[in-house]
Amino acid sequence: MSINKIATQYIKNGYQVIPLKSDKTPMIYSWGWDKPIFEKQVNQLFTEDVESIGLLMGGKTNLLAIDFDLKYDTSGTLWEDFKKSANSSVLKKCRVHKTKNNGYHLIFKTEITNLQNKKLANRETTDDEKKDTLLKSMLKYPNDFSKALKTSINDKVRVLIETRANGGYIAIPPTAGYKVVHDIPFKQLSEAETNHLLEVARSFNSYIIPVVDYNRDIIDDKNDNIFNNYNKTKCSLQVLKDNGWEEVSRNENSARLKRPGQTSASSSALYDLETKVFTCFSTSTEFDPGKSYLPIDVLAMLNFNGDYKQTLKFILNK
C-alpha cells in the first residue's frame, strides 16, 4: 500500500499523521493536533518522494508509545527482560513496531490524559562513549577545545526507554527500517495497566538523578544542620525495610528494592549506596516517580507522612 493511502487510512480512523524527512524530522513547518491534516491534503503533502510517515501521540485519541532504544542497551537483553517482567495479558493489548535501529515501540491508547514525553530508564554514559563524544566534538569545534571538552563532560546519560505522548510523534511503517511485529488495532489500556507498563519500564533505570532541594516546612541554619548530619550518617535501607520494602539485589554501587504490595516489576526503586539517594519508579507509593530522596526525606515520607516538624522532633528525642 502506498504511503499516501496509509496516511489517508490513519486519518479516516481518527488519528493524525505527518510527512517526515529521512532523518525523521517533520517536512511541514507547522503540525500538531490543533493543526490537523485533512484527507484532501494527503496527496499534496504525501507526494511520491515522501518515504517516511510520523504518527502523532496524545491528542483526541490519547495514544501513547513506549520507545525502547536498544542501541544503548549494554546488556543485550533489555527488551526480553522487559517482556518477562511485564504482565503478558497487558502486553498483548499493545501494538508493537520494530524501529530501524532494532528498537521497539509499544503503542496503545490510555485512560490517563495529559501524559508528556518522559524518560523512563537511563544509564550512565560509559568512559568510552565520553571519549567518543570528545573526539567528535573536537572535529565539530576544531578551534574551541574547551567547548569540545565541556560537551564531553556534559554527556552524562544514555536514554534506554522513554514515552512519546502529547507533543510527540513516532515514525511508523512503511518508513524505511520500520516494521510491524504485533499487528493489532490500537487498544485502550486502563490507568492501572498503563501505570504497570511505565513502572516496569522505570525498573530498568540505573542512573541516579541528582538531588533536588525540596521545600521543607523547616528552614533555618540550625535545623538544616541537623538534617544534613542525618543525611551524612544515616542509611535509608533499614527505614525502607521497616516499612515493607524488600531489597531484591545489590552491587557495589547500588541496591534495588521492591515496593510493598503486589507488583510484577522486578524492582520498584534504586538506592545509591554512595550518595544515599533513593529514586522510586512506581506510581503506587508515597514517593514521586523519578524524584530523588535523601535519608531525611525517606524518613519523613514513610514514618511521618512528609511532616518534617515531626521528623525533627523524632531525631532530637532519640
Q: pLDDT digit string (tens) for 140-178? A: 888 888 877 877 777 788 889 999 999 899 999 999 999
What pLDDT score does 138 carry?
Answer: 87
Which of these, 189, 7, 178, lies nearest to 96 by C-alpha position? Answer: 178
Residue 210 CA: distances (Å) to CA of 232, 277, 294: 16, 8, 10
Query: Does domain 221-317 fall into CATH 3.40.50?
Result: no
Q: How far apart are CA 293 and CA 303, in angstroms?
A: 14
Burial of residue 218 (number of CB atoms within 10 Å: 0-12, 13-18, 19+): middle
Q: Going edge to edge, which strands form the sheet with 254-258?
A: 246-250, 254-258, 269-272, 278-280, 292-293
What pLDDT score does 77 carry?
Answer: 95
Q: How far apart are CA 148 and CA 134, in angstroms?
A: 6
What pLDDT score does 140 carry?
Answer: 81
Q: How far apart are CA 10 and CA 187, in angstroms?
A: 15
What is the CB neighbour count within 10 angstroms for residue 251? 9
What is the CB neighbour count within 10 angstroms for residue 128? 8
Confidence of residue 220 (pLDDT cuts 50, 70, 90): low
Q: Across the chain, what does the average pLDDT equal?
A: 89
Which of these, 40, 103, 110, 58, lies nearest to 76 by C-alpha position? Answer: 103
What pLDDT score does 217 carry?
Answer: 62
What pLDDT score does 241 carry?
Answer: 92
Mean pLDDT for 276-292 is: 86
Mean pLDDT for 123-150 is: 85
Mean pLDDT for 37-42 is: 90
Confidence of residue 63 (pLDDT cuts 50, 70, 90): very high
What is the residue extent of each domain of the chain? 3-121+159-202, 124-157, 221-317
CATH class of 3-121+159-202: alpha beta
β-bridge mates for residue 304, sequence order: none
Share of the chain above pLDDT 70, in %: 95
Q: The whole model's pTM is what?
A: 0.81
State the pairing for strand pair 63-68/157-164: antiparallel
- Nine-digit cell string for 219: 528552614
Whether 31 has a pLDDT exceeding 60, the answer reads: yes
Handedness of CA 174, 189, 194, 261 (dihedral sign): negative
Q: pLDDT digit string (tens) for 93-123? A: 999 999 998 999 999 999 998 888 888 999 8
